[in-house]
Structure 1
Amino acid sequence: MPPRGDPSGGRGRGRGRGAGAVRGYVRGGGPRGGTPAGPIGLPDAASHITTVGVKRSAFGSSGRALTVFTNHFEVSIPEAIIHHYDVISPSEKTLPARLNMEIIKRLQTEVAPQVFTPRAAYDGRKNLFAARELPFGDSGTHEFSFALTEGSPADAGEGGRGPKMYKVKLTHVATINPEVLQRFLEGKQSHDNTVLTAITALNVVIRMEPSLNYPFNIRSFFTSREQKDLGGGIVLWRGYFQSARPAIGRMLINVDISTGAMYKPGAVTDVSLDFIGRPRADPTCLAPRRGFPDRERIKLQRFLSGVRVDVQIPGQAQTGRRPARVVKKLTTHGASELKFTMRDGKTLTVADYFLKVHNYKLRFPDVVCLEVGSGAIIPMECCTIPEGQIMRKQVPSEKTKDVLAFATMKPADRLNSIRKGLGVLAYGQSEYVRHFGMHMAQNEPLSLQARVLEPPTLQYGASTKIKPKDGAWNMVDKKFFRPEQVRRWGIVIYERQQRFTPADAQEMVRGFLQAFAAVGMPVDEKDPIIRYKQSNATIGAQLQAVGDEVYYKSGGTVAPTLIVVVLPEASTDIYQAVKHWGDCTKGIATQCLKSSKCSKARPQYFANVCLKINVKLGGINTVPEAKSVPALTDPHNPTIVMGADVIHPAPGASGRPSFTSLVANVDSDTAKYVADCRVQTSRQEMIDDLEEMATGILTMYQKYRANVERKAQLKPKRIIFYRDGVSEGQFQHVLDIELPQLKRACAKLDIEAKITMIVVGKRHHVRFFPKLNEGDRSGNCPAGTIVDRDITHPTEFDFYLQSHSGLLGTSRPAHYNVLYDENNFTPDNLQALSFALCHVYARATRSVSIPAPVYYADIVCARAKNHYDPDSAQMDLTDSGTQLDSKEAKDQLDAFRAGFKPLHEKIRRMMYFS
């Protein structure tokens, strides 16, 4: 069985706080800028309580009151002692959690039911929790040895060897007194290992029943009641997420709907043909000698690797149930060509073997076969995929739209689905929940008191001011706060002339000129050069040629400042080449447009594109009014706001790097941002080069204040650092590894700034639902909805802020955890400035879901692949996974480091990522 890991099932890393994950052992709180709790309504946090983040000292109070529902349900915690057992399977290789659950179920119900009365709850890995001490004597240890029952998916019994025996050793490792958890909820106990284990135990208890009845994926369980066929051998199932979460003074269960991608059940040949997009009537498409290309075979192999298949020879009765086999890979030849030597020394093809031994003549002997984990080779036509197998690979990008359509539900529909989910999760009927003394108070979602914050006033040109309403505002008749001049520009079109005609191109130019004038951007050139190009040549050389034309058109005096590129559909490779040329090679702003969007487009389209172009050229679209957000714009306390993120390679890909980014404002209005991006060790969450990146950005901040704003005070006095993509278990790592780097960068530049560090999480399942007629047009809570009590951490400073208006589906609030705060911000101050920063995202006239610097950091990471030469065949950054050995992985990672090209010096000062 698997080695013992995080008993909560939480991620060791992640791009956000994983709902349900619980923090590891706390070594000590240290000075965090927080104080012991005091005001009425706060838990009585004693001075000896240590926390990872800042202690909560107060609640926010600004904004209008709003009552909302949330997808949480109060649950009582057990009163009796819980016994924790370590589960070991001696000399046994790591087994899937599904099989582990089968083994423990058999042990409790048939092998030793008298021992497991009442039954214990198991996490599928190394942890078992019992409501009473198991009768193992003084040693507290007992070993069981048994076979799984006939008909089980794991039943062995091949070759006359008898059924496979499994050994399970249980050892009593701890007793858990739920009183410790109760004290933690009341703010009287630090979050230590005992609290961690208690929360883990409750999560295992509530998940046990559905784990036995449904396909599961750590915290989610999927049923076939609602499903959608995506095509390509993939089916979506509706699922239910659940997680026990500590809150102020009580324990809650967070329940949400989720979506699982499953392998389509049925014959492997049919599913394979669906995947490669060929008709099911002709399985010979899968035969190499009939033209099945290696490229498609490898793609299909990636899709099928790891899937369990049942083996059944067509037309023959099955005696007992054979064990499911796990697909390892596909053979390179069909069954009629694959030969092997029998024990008697005779050589047979796979097709001949099935005829001789099983009296079955293959219908499609030329089709590739499956090689399973044991090394056996089985013809595809003898294999079927059973229902309910989760596909633990990325869904192909072309199907993302269909996945979103299935997963997206309006708030009212989602809440109703969650209510139905309670019937599936069946807490009241679960014998495990009952035996552990847990009881859900009511089957209705929790109602809580939220607040709606006042949006900041935004300032545009000519002292024009706008007050956003419902998370959006209109820029009609408004000039940019600082419009930038378009001096010389050119247009390159990669779409065919028949689809995007010269007349379309001229109409696009007119659209741009009108939009530039409307937002106040001066344009020197009214008739830019327009050139059609084909993408079968080197993109960089083509762009360079057009740039040279623009330059010589001006008499060789002005280089182009902007190249607009019109792209056809499915043109990711051209886009990457354009961005590499502009951002890393030449330092020229580029703006890519889809031909389908800009052809005969409305003025609003060009106005939106101008939002991007202005900041790419160095302009500023809008700034928050100074008195609206004094915490950000106080002239006596110059403030720099940073956003940092890390992005990791696709699951299963080895030898590919992770990318890090740091983004920060350089102006006094926290609206103009610069960015840095680096390569680092694959799947490492903490940022290696933060000190170096921060030093560079702090230097640029001071230069901008000196040379552009002409400020007397050059150095920032406050740094607000927003960190994206960190799971709860890594909060302490941020404080131990990244905070010191930030402090060293300040010390290097003799900057004495007070630092506030905040983690912004989006990967959670907390949702808010307004009462009838109290939501926005989409049925979601209004932009600015904030919750900092009832469902938040018992002792630490955190809050949920839904800063954007809804468009489709149910909006997800961002979760803010304050880890460090030398500025001693009040909750109202920190919540207001976070909300204000959601309004300065340059690409939209809407507030966004997370503060702009964090959003930008995410975009910079996602565009890291643009730093590689697109003509280099070695730099494969596609989504497909590739398995390499450790030396190959290291060599490839070194190549990625060497091939990463930094930004051009001109572009570093611009918002190229907008």
Structure 2
Amino acid sequence: MVAKRGGAQEALTLYGAAPRPDDGNKQGRAMQLTTNLFKATLNLKALKNVQLLSVEIKPIDDPRAARESLPVRLNREILVHALQDAAKNGILAITQDFARLLGYDGKALAYTMLPLPADKLEWETTLPPKTDLPPVPGAPGAVAPRPPAAPAGGERDSKRRFRIKLAFARSIDFGLILEACRGDRRAIMAQAANPAELIQDGIQALDIVLRNMLHDRYLSGTSQTAQRKFYDPSKAIPISQGAEIWPGFFQSARPCAAGLVVNLDPAFSAFVGGGAFVEVAAKLLNLGGGGGDFGGRGGRGGRGGRGGRGGRGGFRGGRGGYGGDFGGGGTALTSLTQQDQRQLRLRLKNIQIRVTHRATNKLESFQGFTPRSAEETMFETKEGKSYIIAQYFLEKYNLRLRFPRLPCVRIGAQRSAVPMEFCVVVPQGPLPATSLTPMQSADQIKVSAMKPSDRKRRVEDIRREVDYDTNPMLQGWGITVDRQPLTTEGRVIAAPEVAYAPSSQRPRVGVGSWNLVGAKFVTPGAELITCGVLDYSRAPLGAVQGFIAAQLDACKKLGLRVTNVRPQIVKHRPDPYLVKEHMNELGRSAFAEAKQKMGAARRPPPPQIFFIILDQQDQAFYNSVKRAAALELNTPVATQCFNARKAFNERGQAQYVANVAMKINVKLGGTNHIVSGERDLPRFGKQTMLVGADVTHPGPGSDKPSIAGSVATIDGGAKRYSSELRKQTNPRGGAAQEVMLHSKGMMLGHLKKWQAANQGRLPDSIVFFRDGVSEGQYQAVLDHELQALKDASREIRPDAKIKVTFIICGKGHHVRFFPKNEQDVAGDRSGNLPPGICVDKDIVSPFGFDFYLQSQAGLVGTARPCHYVVLRNEMEFSSEHLIRCINSLCYTYCRATRSVSIVPPAYYADILCEKARAFVYGPDDGETVASSEKGDVEMPEISEHEAGSMMAHFAKSPTFTDCLWFM
């Protein structure tokens, strides 16, 4: 078996990216910065014999389980136990040092600095002894005698046997990594034919060794990103609706021009709080909860045990007791609707369960609910006797159910049904960010927002707590990490000139922001003739009429032509199943009204936009509104939703209607403001197209397709954008694809719209901004999507030779900058660096053309820079020209009067995918991801026709996708 290289580190050197064209950026005021990167030093003598090993762990007595991958935590536990046992008993010449210093990724790769005793080792082992879990106070099972803890190698352990295989894969040359950091291509090519892969091996080895040293002290996840985050559950911070925030930190090793570095950054993640399942469910559903099955939070206890069969491995301790008495007051949860169950399945998907009706040392995975209640659900025992579950618990355990009308909980691989009141949630289940309620999201922001000075101090504290200096594993590997972070130089790029209509007053750009005083849109959208209002609020009609009048008046002051100043207002109760009917009714009456006003001289357009007033933050109903307007009517209609709380607040209404007017204008095909001129956009000609693209995915295990979205300018002035959407699945099955599989068809759509608006010409050049790509997929995305773009252009014109600059926009990194001298930010109350700060030396790639740009002013917490990586530079941008162009474009975001953190084409593509997610996934999918964190799901390939089904409907309106309808 040949060990496969992990994709996470694959492109960290940017060995195959476009080379840096010059010595870097020299424009702008210089500023000294402190980073959250710590230089690592390697003892090459100690690392001269490092080997990469392939690892295989298979259950012996369970053929079905042997065909599936074991959980990462269980794999780690098995291998650590097997190595320690082998070293203790002299098996296969495995030594204590070999066992202690092996770095393992929890899957199929391991790294050793001591040679493997043979080319291949194979032996059998058993599960390690299981540590008893703490009893649940007052639970029925707590009074029963606990099973005795079995000694190592005892009868209980022998029931589950595993075969371990370690095999030599290849040697690791750490000297190549240091050569790579020096950027010496010749030296690297002289030593190896495949340097990028060998460098990747060494970086991945270092990363895994650094992670392994923390596993005994912290809890970490198992996905590609989560395995670099480490938490201490004992420091959990309770937030609303049964959730809690776990503070922790991110750690990753990476190469850069200054050498090997370790990136440390505070991290905060939401988890489900522990306790009685009934109480946890009630809190998650915001149903309150009475006296509580578990009175308090409970004291801290010892280390937790290992998960049982079908679970996901153990939960590392620190939390201990579950608090309170089992029983005691009532609960607000006496029944669950189908919608309640769907919400709970989303939010509890990754949790583990303990049962309390009997003594047990097992943790079981949550699998869902029974379709019927405990007093209706039947099952058959091994002896063939049928029972209703409520009856069975009464006869078997002398336990009468308090909540017989609740469904049972399905747990474990066997999907056993257990009454909800005898289930305890183990406080370790992560809550995906997309499944948090608005209240929980607000709480998380409050907890995690850190001013730059506080974040910098926390980084320094993390470095002290981790204590690389005394760690035996790092000492054995000869790895040292500096105590002080790296410093570097940044440069502040000047803000561009923002322009509105020629008759307008030119705004004065301050610290990344300006205002609309005296401004008129540079290009007003279509004349507003056919529109209407759907009012789903509880506000009186007079208040709604007054607000709509104020909104349309704001539009007119900014230059929009508004013919229908008093659109029809129709009031309804918010029912997602009737939204389509409401819109059809409103559309017909709005068109008839417009036709009457226009007379015989002009035919009014079909409905142009619907104004929707919503009373509360209800994401599911909001999605229903957007879906109905875009996909379910005869022709798609743009919508503008209003938050009733903001709309009817007179104090902030003027600012609110001005901000919304910017969105209305672009939905009608207008342009709010521009940045123009050779100084601010060097090398951007009248025949340069801008493209932004992104792919968003359903959660792991979902059978729903991914969504690819792209936007592109229609004119050389970057005033108008077209949009394309496609659904896609992996044609070979397996993990969802970050590559846009239908990118040729999407680019054909963009190019034809450009051609139609530019007298049949194609653009001479394209700047392609790609969002949401993990470092390991840079090359795959570039190869497929750049070729698809070229193929699309040649299909339209065989002799087309469009120059393309292809840029990755990365926001998922953890690199942060702080002022070395606090006086440099003394005038900013947030403590953030000024907008326009750019770094393109020391911490960037030694080979590639990349840079960090914080184009926005920080408002809350610490501003995150965007990492731009240039994979192709056919337009031959210099460092200064490209950095200036991107910084200037960040001032053109259409719905704000401030610069934004990522270049707008990529930002628009991200928003487009976000809106389309509601169309495809529906209101109950809370596990969408927009990065490369995908699960292995086999799905049929989607045809080009099906992939473009949304676009086929949008095409019923000739102008719908020629504007930013999704904003």
Q: Where on the TM-score scale, by shorter chain, does this alignment land: which range?
A: 0.7 to 0.9
1: CA distance between counterparts of 2:22 and 2:385? 81
Equivalent residue letter for 2:196: D
Aligned twin of 1:520: 559
1: CA distance between counterparts of 2:710 and 2:201? 35
Assess if the C-alpha contact under 8 Å between 2:623 and 2:923 holds in 1: no
Residue 68 (structure 1) aligned to one of 13, 33, 37: 33
Shift of 1:348: 5.3
Aligned to 2:791, the other structure's residue is in SS state helix
2: CA distance between counterparts of 1:385 and 1:365? 19
Shift of 1:778: 1.7
2: CA distance between counterparts of 1:326 and 1:524? 60
Aligned to 1:773, the other structure's residue is in SS state helix
Residue 170 (structure 1) aligned with residue 166 (structure 2):
yes
Residue 691 (structure 2) aligned to one of 622, 639, 642: 642
1: CA distance between counterparts of 2:837 and 2:487? 14
1: CA distance between counterparts of 2:403 and 2:500? 70
Aligned to 1:183, the other structure's residue is in SS state helix
Residue 841 (structure 1) aligned with residue 816 (structure 2):
no
2: CA distance between counterparts of 1:780 and 1:867? 38
Shift of 1:768: 1.3
> How do 1:295-694 and structure 2 match up within 5 A?
295-313=339-357, 322-333=361-372, 340-342=379-381, 368-375=407-414, 376-391=416-431, 394-398=434-438, 399-442=440-483, 444-462=484-502, 464-484=505-525, 486-496=527-537, 499-513=539-553, 515-536=554-575, 537=578, 538-544=581-587, 545-555=589-599, 557-559=602-604, 561-570=608-617, 572=619, 573=621, 576-577=624-625, 580-581=628-629, 585-586=634-635, 589-599=638-648, 600=650, 601-634=652-685, 638-654=687-703, 656-681=704-729, 683-694=736-747
Equivalent residue letter for 2:515: N
Aligned twin of 1:251: 260
2: CA distance between counterparts of 1:435 and 1:890? 49
Aligned twin of 2:289: 279
Aligned to 1:326, the other structure's residue is in SS state strand
Aligned twin of 1:772: 822
Aligned twin of 1:700: 753
Aligned twin of 1:15: none
> How do 1:809-848 and structure 2 match up within 5 A?
809-848=861-900
Q: Compared with structure 1, are the counterparts of its residues 435 and 579 closer, same or farther at alpha carbon in structure 2 (3 Å cutoff)?
A: same
Shift of 1:221: 0.7
Residue 116 (structure 1) aligned with residue 96 (structure 2):
yes
Residue 728 (structure 1) aligned with residue 775 (structure 2):
yes
Relative to structure 2, which stretch is displaced further, 349-358 or 80-89? Answer: 349-358
Assess if the C-alpha contact under 8 Å between 1:287 and 1:367 holds in 2: no
1:158-193 CA distance string (max 9 Å, x none): 997855333322222222121111111112226422
Equivalent residue letter for 2:58: P
1:395-424 CA distance string (max 9 Å, x none): 334332222222222211222222222233
Shift of 1:313: 4.3
Shift of 1:782: 0.9
2: CA distance between counterparts of 1:272 and 1:342? 29
1:120-152 CA distance string (max 9 Å, x none): 222222222222124x24x44242423312427
Percent identity between the two aligned chains: 28
Equivalent residue letter for 1:566: I
2: CA distance between counterparts of 1:907 and 1:374? 48
2: CA distance between counterparts of 1:391 and 1:633? 44
Aligned to 2:96, the other structure's residue is in SS state coil
Shift of 1:787: 0.6
Q: Compared with structure 1, are the counterparts of its residues 615 and 394 closer, same or farther at alpha carbon in structure 2 (3 Å cutoff)?
A: closer
The two structures, once aligned, show a CA RMSD in angstroms of 3.7
Q: Compared with structure 1, are the counterparts of its residues 367 and 717 closer, same or farther at alpha carbon in structure 2 (3 Å cutoff)?
A: closer
1: CA distance between counterparts of 2:343 and 2:764? 54
Assess if the C-alpha contact under 8 Å between 1:287 and 1:366 holds in 2: no
1: CA distance between counterparts of 2:473 and 2:725? 49
Relative to structure 2, which stretch is displaced further, 247-256 or 540-549? Answer: 540-549
Aligned to 2:368, the other structure's residue is in SS state strand
Assess if the C-alpha contact under 8 Å between 1:632 and 1:669 holds in 2: no
Assess if the C-alpha contact under 8 Å between 1:121 and 1:130 holds in 2: yes
Runs (5+) with no aligned partner, structure 2: 60-65, 89-93, 134-146, 190-194, 222-226, 294-326, 731-735, 929-933
Q: Compared with structure 1, are the counterparts of its residues 706 and 477 closer, same or farther at alpha carbon in structure 2 (3 Å cutoff)?
A: same
Q: Compared with structure 1, are the counterparts of its residues 481 and 94 closer, same or farther at alpha carbon in structure 2 (3 Å cutoff)?
A: same
Assess if the C-alpha contact under 8 Å between 2:230 and 2:248 holds in 1: yes
2: CA distance between counterparts of 1:295 and 1:564? 28
2: CA distance between counterparts of 1:475 and 1:786? 28
Assess if the C-alpha contact under 8 Å between 2:31 and 2:490 holds in 1: yes
2: CA distance between counterparts of 1:338 and 1:786? 63
Assess if the C-alpha contact under 8 Å between 2:615 and 2:644 holds in 1: yes
Assess if the C-alpha contact under 8 Å between 2:291 and 2:330 holds in 1: no
Q: Compared with structure 1, are the counterparts of its residues 416 and 123 closer, same or farther at alpha carbon in structure 2 (3 Å cutoff)?
A: same
Q: Compared with structure 1, are the counterparts of its residues 555 and 532 closer, same or farther at alpha carbon in structure 2 (3 Å cutoff)?
A: farther
Assess if the C-alpha contact under 8 Å between 2:690 and 2:905 holds in 1: yes
2: CA distance between counterparts of 1:367 and 1:519? 56
Shift of 1:451: 0.6
2: CA distance between counterparts of 1:894 and 1:625? 39
Shift of 1:244: 0.1
Q: Compared with structure 1, are the counterparts of its residues 888 and 58 closer, same or farther at alpha carbon in structure 2 (3 Å cutoff)?
A: closer
Relative to structure 2, which stretch is displaced further, 819-828 or 353-362? Answer: 353-362
Residue 802 (structure 1) aligned with residue 843 (structure 2):
no
Q: Compared with structure 1, are the counterparts of its residues 354 and 462 closer, same or farther at alpha carbon in structure 2 (3 Å cutoff)?
A: closer
Shift of 1:630: 4.6
Q: Compared with structure 1, are the counterparts of its residues 718 and 468 closer, same or farther at alpha carbon in structure 2 (3 Å cutoff)?
A: same
Relative to structure 2, which stretch is displaced further, 610-619 or 756-765? Answer: 610-619
1: CA distance between counterparts of 2:787 and 2:206? 36
Shift of 1:391: 4.6
2: CA distance between counterparts of 1:356 and 1:522? 76
Residue 143 (structure 1) aligned with residue 120 (structure 2):
no
1:268-313 CA distance string (max 9 Å, x none): 3432333342524488999999754454345434544543233444
Shift of 1:761: 1.0
1: CA distance between counterparts of 2:30 and 2:122? 57
Aligned to 2:58, the other structure's residue is in SS state coil
Q: Compared with structure 1, are the counterparts of its residues 224 and 893 closer, same or farther at alpha carbon in structure 2 (3 Å cutoff)?
A: farther
Shift of 1:736: 1.7
Q: Compared with structure 1, are the counterparts of its residues 393 and 96 closer, same or farther at alpha carbon in structure 2 (3 Å cutoff)?
A: farther
2: CA distance between counterparts of 1:131 and 1:884? 32
2: CA distance between counterparts of 1:69 and 1:570? 40
Aligned to 1:246, the other structure's residue is in SS state strand
2: CA distance between counterparts of 1:286 and 1:328? 26
Shift of 1:521: 3.2
Equivalent residue letter for 1:542: E
Aligned to 1:816, the other structure's residue is in SS state strand
Q: Compared with structure 1, are the counterparts of its residues 404 and 186 closer, same or farther at alpha carbon in structure 2 (3 Å cutoff)?
A: same
The number of residues matched between the two structures is: 854
Aligned twin of 2:10: 22
Aligned twin of 1:872: none
Assess if the C-alpha contact under 8 Å between 2:665 and 2:672 holds in 1: yes
